[in-house]
């Protein structure tokens, strides 16, 4: 036990009064030795009861500290935590999750055994909304057809090397070698950081025996907002970095959206385009129906609800990516316009 490394748990949060207590309890109930842990809660100016809840724990546990993140965004919170951490390994956690009893010990065991730079496990998605729509959203967010080869969401039957994980356990030295999280990337900084880690020959390991349960707000309106934001930030980081910070799978919904939208306007002008378009749509919905058959024994309505939710997920994500690309192009055009005007003495 004396040889176990000291670990720092970074927990960014903002208005998490619904989740924060369950999350912290799961951390305190973990089997990793308490004297080897510090918990750094980074609050993004919460306006609900989050801070008061955390302070109740601070009164009882000297290893819990709270910091204020005036920028509010996730990457800024992570950087505050890293700069104030003392651990040899740093965990970047999510407040919407509870961590299974052996989460930290399994991560450390895997990291030490494999010499990995980042270790994580499988995320079990559980929706707060138990309606048929809420349960359907949980299904599509955990299915490979919905989220692609995001292994930490879809699961694995063996320990494998991946491109990113949830609730990652990082070697402290990683941040000294490749820097901190990019604070310009509000919603994809973790993907970008792991991309940089891989580019620098870093190793990211997913161990399926490491598990956390993630509570998602399975409300249809929030489902749309979150997918639009995720799609937007899959593309918008290109404005700030000179490389593609996300993997190829993140761009598939963009091409899906473009094909569906442009094709709809072109089909009146060509029977060939019309036939290709309708065939593609039919194949897409046939796939979603076949997937849905697996769930109809739970509720026959899934046969109609899941295809609709899969389509909504992909289309709205693609819409977000398209809006991001348009904003980047307009920004570049505006930059060149000012550059040309300044060069010719007009401004």
How do the domains of the chain map onto residue ranges?
7-218, 248-343
Of 24-28, 58-62, 268-272, 306-310, least confident by mean pLDDT is 58-62
Average pLDDT over residues 265-272: 90
Question: Phi/psi of residue 22, each to 5°?
Answer: -60, -40
- Write the CATH number of the domain with boundaries 7-218: 3.90.550.10
Question: pLDDT (tens digit, 9 = 90+) per residue, 140-177?
Answer: 988 889 887 677 777 778 999 998 899 999 999 999 99
| pTM of the predicted model as reported, rounded to 2 decimal places | 0.85
Please give the DSSP secondary-structure letter assigned to residue 298.
Answer: T
CA distance 118 to 100: 18
pLDDT above 70 (res 338): no
Average pLDDT over residues 83-96: 95
pLDDT band at 333 (very low <50, low <70, confident <90, very high): confident
CA distance 30 to 50: 21
- CB burial readout 33-72, b (16+ within 10 A) else e: eeebbbbbbbbbebeeebbebbeebeeebebbebeebeee
Q: Enumerate the H helices of 218-270 as residue ranges.
A: 220-235, 252-266
Question: pLDDT (tens digit, 9 = 90+) per residue, 205-256?
Answer: 999 999 999 887 668 888 999 999 999 998 998 888 877 777 777 889 999 9
Q: What pLDDT is stored for residue 180 in this prediction?
A: 96
Question: Token pair of 201, please?
Answer: 């020959």
Q: What pLDDT is stored for residue 342 in this prediction?
A: 63
């Amino acid at each position: 036990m004396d040889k176990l490394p000291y670990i720092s748990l970074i927990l960014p949060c903002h208005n998490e009064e619904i989740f924060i207590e369950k999350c912290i309890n799961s951390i305190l109930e973990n089997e990793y030795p308490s004297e080897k842990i510090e918990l750094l809660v980074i609050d993004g100016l919460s306006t609900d009861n989050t801070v008061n809840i955390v302070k109740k724990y601070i009164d009882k546990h000297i290893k819990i500290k709270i910091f204020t993140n005036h920028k509010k965004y996730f990457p800024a919170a992570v950087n505050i935590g890293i700069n104030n951490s003392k651990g040899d390994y740093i965990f970047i956690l999510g407040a919407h999750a509870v961590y299974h009893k052996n989460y930290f010990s399994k991560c450390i065991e895997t990291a030490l055994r494999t010499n990995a730079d980042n270790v994580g496990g499988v995320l079990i998605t559980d929706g707060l909304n138990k309606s048929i729509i809420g349960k359907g959203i949980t299904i599509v967010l955990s299915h490979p057809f919905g989220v692609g080869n995001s292994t930490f969401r879809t699961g694995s039957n063996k320990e494998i090397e991946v491109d990113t994980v949830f609730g990652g356990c990082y070697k402290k030295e990683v941040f000294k070698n490749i820097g901190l999280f990019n604070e310009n990337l509000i919603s994809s900084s973790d993907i970008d950081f792991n991309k940089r880690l891989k580019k620098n020959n870093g190793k990211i390991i997913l161990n399926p025996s490491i598990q956390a349960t993630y509570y998602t707000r399975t409300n249809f309106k929030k489902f749309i907002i979150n997918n639009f934001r995720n799609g937007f930030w899959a593309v918008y980081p290109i404005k700030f970095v000179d490389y593609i910070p996300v993997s190829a799978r993140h761009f598939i919904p963009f091409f899906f959206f473009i094909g569906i939208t442009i094709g709809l306007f072109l089909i009146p002008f060509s029977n060939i385009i019309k036939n290709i378009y309708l065939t593609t749509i039919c194949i897409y919905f046939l796939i979603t129906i076949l997937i849905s058959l697996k769930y109809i024994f739970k509720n026959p309505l899934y046969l109609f609800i899941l295809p609709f939710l899969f389509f909504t997920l992909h289309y709205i994500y693609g819409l977000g990516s398209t809006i991001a690309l348009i904003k980047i192009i307009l920004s570049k055009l505006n930059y060149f316009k000012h550059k040309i005007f300044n060069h010719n003495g007009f401004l």
